[in-house]
Amino acid sequence: MVRVTDLDTFSALLAPEGQELLALLRDYDPADELATATRLRRDHPAPLVSAALGQARLRQRAAAKFGADAARMYFTPNGVEQSTRTSVAAHRAARLAAAGVRTLADLCCGIGGDALALARAGIRVLAVDRDPLACAAARANAEALGLAGLVEVRCADVTEVDTAGYDAVFVDPARRKGVRGGRIFDPEAYAPPLSWAVGAARSAPCAALKIAPGVPHEALPEDAETEWISDGGDVKEAVLWFGTGRGGAHRATLLPAGDSLVGAGLPDPEPGPVGDWLYEPDGAVIRAHLVADVAEQVDGRLIDPTIAYVTADRLTPTPYATAYAITDVLPFNVKKLKALLREREVGVAVIKKRGSAVEPEELRRKLKLAGPRTCTVFLTRVAGAPTMLLGHPAAQGA
């Protein structure tokens, strides 16, 4: 439970003296924290200096998610860990705005990352959380970014909030056990439980429910469209969409470009021999079980029934997979690989694996690479057999 002193200290950060300290710490080096703290405590109360230093550290960590906005925002440790990054929140807000949503209840809003993106999309938001400190941060963030007129923050139990009258509901249940805690894999152990969140979503004309990207497909509601989102190649989250008219559909969206692939319900393609090109599908495509859709786009086939690599005889660009020109297909053998890379003067090997027990770093130490050239090595299975594929990204050889 948040202590009153936490809220008092946070309020002090918003006062002129706290703002002065935060301005002084805008570009501070954490390596000099002891000296910085000693200097600032000569003129400011020690608790306020500690709070300002903590906020400065959180802002620096949050820059990876919030970009330049982080320098003006306010965070809690949980808020930095669990909040949605700006690019993903902006994508979701754009989808909701395009669907005609003008008012929305943001349940489990945390420090307000999604509420800010929604407000920037022109949506009026009721942001609700039971954590008083998170709510204080959400209010301060809306004010700092000039969005207070569109964001109402309410400290309450989300299960007791009446969302009738809102165009849409967004729910982001907590999926971690405290600060830097382990992930919660049982959806009914979310806070609030997934079953409650699904019920709240179904009660609204339109709804989005954020869940873990590793959710088992058999746990997905049949009346929801499920979207897996990656950003810069990293899968960030999955979203259950209600009210889209595409119940049961699977979608993979790749940011920052925004390319979005909706599954056509295709069966897995038949496996076959490795061709001149290998395609590595984006993680969101794999999570959404849309590898077959990518294979159809590139007129390809699987290299193995259990491996999510697609191969083809010609290059067909697609935003949903990275293409590699394949130069060698060899049975797995460390000595042979070492000799071949040495012969080709390869000093840098990008080692990827799928369906192999070999650890890339351990293999790299054994190879003892030296030379001016680069190579991509895939450790995988082809028709069930451990195999090495050598090549390079399409941009280098297309």
pLDDT single digits (tens) 179-207:
455 566 677 777 788 889 999 999 999 99
Long-range contacts of 9-15 (CB under 8 A, 24+ apart): 9/47, 9/48, 9/51, 10/51, 10/74, 10/133, 10/136, 10/137, 10/140, 11/136, 12/47, 12/48, 12/51, 13/48, 13/51, 13/52, 13/55, 13/74, 14/140
pLDDT at 177: 58
Task: Give 73's DSSP letter.
Answer: -
pLDDT at 141: 98
pLDDT at 184: 61
pLDDT at 44: 94
Per-residue tokens: 119: 């407000």
Strands 277-281 and 321-331: antiparallel
Cα–Cα distance measured from residue 363 to residue 380, given in angstroms and rounded to the nearest whole number = 14
pLDDT at 395: 74
Percent pLDDT > 70 in the chain is 95
Residue 327 phi/psi, 5-degree rounding, is -105, -25
Q: Are 192 and 173 in contact (CB under 8 A)?
A: yes
Q: Which residue numbers in the chain have pLDDT < 70?
A: 1-5, 175-185, 396-398
Cα–Cα distance measured from residue 206 to residue 209, given in angstroms and rounded to the nearest whole number = 10
**What would the pLDDT profile of 161-184 be if each residue is shown by its tens digit?**
999 999 999 999 876 555 455 566
pLDDT at 1: 37
pTM listed for this prediction:
0.91
pLDDT at 337: 97
pLDDT at 190: 72
Per-residue tokens: 361: 């770093």
pLDDT at 193: 85
Cα–Cα distance measured from residue 205 to residue 325, given in angstroms and rounded to the nearest whole number = 48
3-state DSSP assignment of residue 271: strand
Which residues 6+ apart lie within 8 Å of 35 measured at CB?
Answer: none
The alpha carbon of 17 is separated from its chain's Cα centroid by a whole number of angstroms, namely 36
